[in-house]
Structure 1
Amino acid sequence: MEFTSVDHVELYVGDAMLSAYFFCHALGFRMVAHAAPESGLEGRRSIVLRQGSSRVVVTSALGSEGPVAEYVRLHGDGVKDVAFATPDAAGAFTEAVRRGAKAVMEPTTYEGAGGRVVKATIAGPGDLVHSFIQRDSPASGFLPDVYLPLESPPAHAEELFSALDHVALCLARGTLMDAVEFYKGVLGFEQTHEENVRTEYSGMNSRVVQTAEGRICFPMQEPYTGTRRGQLEDFLAAHGGSGVQHLAFLSPDITRAVDVLARAGMKILDAPPGYYQTLETRLGDLGGFRRETLEQRNILMDRDAWGHLLQVFTRTQHARRTLFFEVIQRESARGFGGANIQALYEAKEREVLRAAR
């Protein structure tokens, strides 16, 4: 079983056109394909967006019934499918099911003028699924003879993101280790990181699983029992169960990306009080970045044995205050900002408290 990258992330949403507009004008994606009943996609409308090597698909129901409408009623807009690229979709599906995965869609071939694609799907944690996508030529259309090419100009002069860095899951209490075992035992991932965060009132337990090459990566977290409900419990209640908490996009220039996002109306989570006053004491060398530059943009920084990592987290734009985004720049770093996990957790708690007032 071989997975080479995330092929695409598909969101089920209330309005595909509105969501596509957000991804294009706020995050810098461009529309590259679309599908609807007239092209062979029954009961739904779907738009494929691209930036760098990242594909995001937004799909909405055209009626009040069916799996897309049911998902949105339960969860609001959210990530339904994190699809993996593979040279053998049928083989990966067969092996995953043999190892205990629940089959969702048997291997299906899409073939036409746009090339040949094989797709199969298994169930993941919660209502998340994982499709296995085999593209027999690099130029294959998204799903030939279903999705039609669509050209849209980029919203920004230069792309902000080069790739999808990771997908973070928020899991119901007591299910974290089951999810870890699913990714390890069924899909052949490895556990690479472990973090446990505690605040005055709540906390979380976290694990990271990824493929051997690190090209597909899932940080996963579950709430720790505290004295009051924390931000993870708030997510689980608002989302209606386990799901994708945030998508992290890799940027070659995070300061420029943050500036462009700000002009587009995106809000960045504030760093904790006093964070920057101790930055150089904690990290020493800042890798050529100026503390003032980071502080002005609420960019968090960490370093590991390989290099520096910079990251920001957006305030959620979601009606239920669930899904949000991360922008990350890796200067050779391989970790996930372990020193910043506590800072992120506290920042999200402050955002939740502000929203509740």
Structure 2
Amino acid sequence: MTAQSIEYVELYTENRKPTIEHFVSSFGFTQTAESVATDRHSTMLCHGDVRLMVTSGEAVAAYLEEHGDGIADIAFGCDDVAATLDTARAAGARTLTAADGPPAVSGFGAVRHTLLPRSAPADRRLPAGPAWIPTPNPGPLPPWRRRIERLDHVAVCLEQGTLQDSVRRYTEGFGLSRYSSEQIEVGDQAMRSTVVRSATGLITFTILEPDPVKGSGQLDGFLARNRGAGVQHLAFLVDDIVLAVRDFEDRGVEFLRTPDAYYEMLADRLIDLRGQTEELRATNVLADRDEWGYLLQLFSRSPHERNTLFYELIQRRGAQGFGTANIKALYEAVDRARTAEEPVLHAQDGAAQ
């Protein structure tokens, strides 16, 4: 009666070919299968254990007009699909099942969850509809196309006042556990955050909402652009973030720039990383730590027209957190840089975007 894995995420886009090209040529994904119908065209892309389905066509036009490019489906692999469907509905999820498709239920905003049997072969853990045509195996992949290991987490942005009910639906309906909760305050902005995770560790959602008193400019901005709740970013776990940033940036991925003042403060904040400061500065990589270890992370600029979705690279050296301290550190660095009259991005365009 639990969701155990994310089988794939489905991205709706108005520009399927350029979007696929971006993931293949810049992020190193490989096309593995394709499905064509009269009203939709879907392509499955893979990198490591990440499966990303890119879909366009008349069937998704209404979604795109309302929300722009974005994640519309996060498919869960379940130990018992029928039982998970029952518990999800009991927790408040709506049934969205098509007559010829696998069970699907509402998640948050316009995002749904297709429910698939975790024990089924990979070729059966795909949406129903026209047959999926496998793409010929490209053979051995170069190192830069093997940087991403799996989907580390999905960042979800909700309307103010809906966080607790959403967390309840994921814990009661899908068997996820509450991992952590915190209030994040940066200057005159604030947000609330709760992390929920499956027992397998293969599903992790960081769920955010604006603070009801202070508000949060960057979350409010996302909600306005997306016209409601949705996936703010996908975080890809990588083996070596410095190499990954260099590889992907050379091939067209645009990452956010970090002010020099951040690295001046980093040497004092994380003494053990002093020897890597210049390497991190050269690639704009951010660093944080928790009681278990360190993490390194960097955020991309959104490649989508409405700026409704962006991507994160994250490397974990034991750390189990999500770089919360970087939000505050970036804010302080920006303030220091402004004092020095150095033009930089706002802190909200960094770790929190």
The one-letter amino acid of 1:283's match is L
CA contact (8 A) 1:89 1:107 kept: no
Helix, strand or coil at the partner of 1:274: helix
User: Which residue matches 1:102?
Assistant: 94
Q: After superposition, where does 1:182-221 map in structure 2 within 5 Å?
A: 182-221=169-208
Q: Which amino acid aligns with 2:300?
A: T
Corresponding residue for 1:5?
A: 5
Which of 206, 211, 214 is residue 224 of structure 1 equivalent to?
A: 211
Q: Give the aligned length.
A: 336
Q: Are 2:155 and 2:206, in contact at CA under 8 Å, matched by a contact in 1? A: yes
Checking the alignment, whether the CA contact within 8 Å between 1:202 and 1:225 is kept in structure 2 is: no
Question: 114, 124, 140: which one pairs with 2:123?
Answer: 140
Match of 2:47 in 1: 51
With normalisation by structure 1, the TM-score equals 0.86
C-alpha distance 200-99 of structure 1, shift in aligned 2 (>3 A): closer
- CA RMSD between the two structures: 2.7
> 2:3 touches 2:175 (CA, 8 Å); kept in 1?
no
CA displacement, residues 243-293 of structure 1 (integer Å, 9 cap, x when unaligned): 00000000001011000121122222223552211223222222x961111
Q: CA deviation at 1:55?
A: 0.1
Q: For the residues of structure 2 that align with 1:289 and 1:129, how far apart are their CA atoms?
A: 45
Which of 74, 82, 85 aligns to 2:74? It is 82
User: Take 2:347 and 2:289, find their aligned partners in 1: how far apart are those partners?
Assistant: 26
Change (3 A) 1:225 1:343: farther
Task: Label 1:88 to 1:345 Cα distance change in 2 as closer, same or farther (>3 A).
Answer: farther
Which residue pairs with 1:124 in the alignment?
107
Q: State the percentage of identical aligned residues.
A: 39
State the Cα distance separating 1:222 from its structure 2 match.
1.1
**In structure 2, distance between residues paired with 1:320 and 1:265:** 19
1:172 Cα offset (Å): 0.9
CA distances 1:131-175 after superposition (whole Å, capped 9, x unpaired): 111155435354576211013746875312010000001111111
Distance 1:235 1:152, change over 3 A: farther
More helix by share: 2
Question: 2-side partners of 1:298 and 1:136: how far apart?
Answer: 41
Q: Which residue does 1:265 correspond to in 2?
A: 252
> Structure 2 vs 1, CA of residues 25 and 351 (structure 1 numbering), >3 Å: closer, same or farther?
farther
Could you list the runs of 5+ residues in structure 1 that have no partner in the other structure?
A: 110-118
For 2:116 and 2:301, how far apart are their aligned partners in 1?
32
1:30 aligned to 2:30? Answer: yes
Shift of 1:200: 3.2
Matched AA of 1:147: W
CA distance in 1, matches of 2:238, 2:280: 15
TM-score scaled by structure 2? 0.87
Moved more, 224-233 or 50-59: 224-233
Separation of aligned partners in 2, 1:276 and 1:351: 14
